Copies of this chain bind each other. A is one copy, B any other.
Amino acid sequence: MEIRPFLVEDWPAVWGILEPAFRAGTTYVFSPDISEEEARRFWVDTPSQTFVAVLQGTIVGTYFIKPNQPGLGSHVCNCGYVVDEMYQGRGIASTMCEHSQKVAVEAGFRAMQFNFVVSTNTGAIRLWNRLGFETIGVLQGAFAHPQLGDIDALVMYKKFAE
């Protein structure tokens, strides 16, 4: 699998991966009826960089990286990852997260923060734990799950070695 920077012509494939994830409303905080334009702004225009994971010529995953805060907090980055439903369970998220940590360190970030990991997304939580992230806080009832009502979201954090 190759991970490379997002190109403008990748958008239809990337949106094809993001849309079902956002519409489901179970792992990302966006409104399930988010428009393609808003999604593109968030995933591609606002971040510092966006990447795609390519397997045998097919885009199977995507992630972005950006500073999590402005100014005096801009040395901590934030990333978001989505893997194509059809390609889950093959270690693609894991490979993307490891890639993003390398990109982050090279860009001079000193830590990575996930602001809002939905507590029922146990696969992701296990994975982030394995890759060195700690749950540093629990936001009680902060996620309005479409089926389960208000459930917890986690703040996860990894400080990079000096």
From B32, B73, B116, B144, contact of A75 by CB (8 A): B144
The answer to whether A137 touches B155 (Cβ under 8 A) is: yes
Task: Please name all residues of chain B whose beta carbon is closer than 8 Å to the beta carbon of A71 when the two chains form the complex.
Answer: 25, 29-32, 34
Contacts of A113 in B (CB 8 A): 139, 142
Q: Is the CB of B116 within 8 A of A31?
A: no
A71 CB to nearest B CB, Å: 3
Question: For A159, what are the chain B residues with a Cβ–Cβ distance below 8 Å?
Answer: 140-141
Question: Is A31 touching B143 in the complex (CB atoms < 8 A)?
Answer: no
Are B25 and A72 interface neighbours, CB within 8 A? Answer: yes
Which of A34, A72, A139 counts the most chain B CB atoms within 10 A? A72
Which residues does chain B contribute within 8 Å of A73, judged by CB atoms? 29, 116, 142-144, 153
Nearest-CB residue, chain B, relative to A30: B71
Chain A's interface: helix, strand, loop or mixed, by majority? strand
* A12-33 vs B, Cβ < 8 Å mask (1 yes, 0 no): 0000000000000100111110
Quick one: CB contact mask for A62-103 with B, threshold 8 Å, 1 for yes? 000000011111111000000000000000000000000000
CB-based contact B70/A29 at 8 Å: yes
- Do A142 and B111 touch (CB < 8 A)? yes
Q: What residues of chain A have their CB less than 8 Å away from a CB belonging to chain B?
A: 25, 28-32, 34, 69-76, 110-111, 113, 115-116, 136-146, 150, 153, 155, 157, 159
Listed from nearest, the 7 A-B pairs whose CB atoms lie closest are: A137-B137, A31-B71, A136-B137, A29-B73, A30-B71, A72-B144, A29-B69
